[in-house]
Structure 1
């Protein structure tokens, strides 16, 4: 059975994963939601005004009272900058499976932050929430995202043609990756306390 904790604060060597706040809207807009280079890998178009982002952040914040809602902002410990977002969602009560997705601001690509955040969330999902399987998908023309998934132990299970249609009307093929709890625990026998510090 999946154990739900809502969105607790998670901490890694370089990052703090925390709930988004209304005051984060400007950073969310500036750092990734207004950037076409980031939105090209998302279903929704880049935001053209902060008001769009404020509305989206407000919707996220309003759901934090729901214990089944798991949505983190990714903050740099060193500077306090908010550089991205990551969430666990689409929980299936019958299979006890879930999915993960993430976005990172372009200025912070290729620095290992995506891998660090995903590793923390996968660790949390398996070790604390007792999820059976975590899946993710990335556009086949975005192999860098696939490398992040592979670094945390996910394996490609197939390609779904025209899985999404982006804001420009382009259909995108997506590679679907996944990892089982039993496989994760087998290769990570002891809790990675140096990576994940869970706070209520």
Structure 2
């Protein structure tokens, strides 16, 4: 059974995963939500104005009081900059399975931040939420995201043709990845990525 606990603060060696708030509007807009290089790997279009970002953030804020809502901003410890987002969603209560997705601002690509955030959220899902399986997907023309998933211990399970239709009305094939809690426990060798978990950040 899934143990829902909302979006507590999660601290890793270089990152703080925390709830988004209204003061993040400009960072969210400037750092990834307005960037075509990020949006081309998403279904939704890039934000054209900060007003678009405020509307999107208000939707996020409205769900933070739900224990089933697991959505974090990714903040750099060293600078306090907000560089991306990551979430667990599509929970299936019958199987105990869910999905993870994430976005990192372009200027922070290839520095291991996506992998660090994903490893922490995977650990949180398995150790604290008792998730049975965590899945993820990426467009096949974005192989860098697959590298992040593999570094977090996920394995590619297949490819689905024309799985999504993006905002440019283009069909995209997606590579599907997954990781079972049992395999995570067997393969992780006791390595811990979460330095601190604040359960009272709700």
TM-score scaled by length of structure 2: 0.97
| 1:3-34 alpha-carbon deviations (Å, 9 max, x no partner) | 01000000011000000001111110000000
- Secondary structure of 2:111's counterpart equals coil
- State the match for 2:90 in structure 1: 90
Measured after TM superposition, the shift of residue 189 of structure 1 is: 4.0
Whole-Å separation in 2 of the counterparts to 1:171 and 1:197: 40
Whole-Å separation in 2 of the counterparts to 1:90 and 1:127: 18
Whole-Å separation in 1 of the counterparts to 2:55 and 2:23: 12
Measured after TM superposition, the shift of residue 63 of structure 1 is: 0.6
| 1:146-173 alpha-carbon deviations (Å, 9 max, x no partner) | 0000001100001010111111111100
Whole-Å separation in 2 of the counterparts to 1:196 and 1:41: 30
Q: 2:10·2:194 contact (CA, 8 Å) conserved in 1?
A: no
- State the match for 1:168 in structure 2: 168
Unaligned runs of 5+ in 2: none
- State the match for 1:140 in structure 2: 140
Measured after TM superposition, the shift of residue 196 of structure 1 is: 3.6
| 1:91-118 alpha-carbon deviations (Å, 9 max, x no partner) | 0000000000000100100000000000
Number of matched residues? Answer: 199
- Secondary structure of 1:115's counterpart equals helix
Q: After the TM superposition, which segments of 4 or more aligned residues of structure 1 sit over 4 Å from their partners?
A: none
Unaligned runs of 5+ in 1: none
TM-score scaled by length of structure 1: 0.97
> Considering only aligned residues, what root-mean-square deviation do their CA atoms show, in Å?
0.9
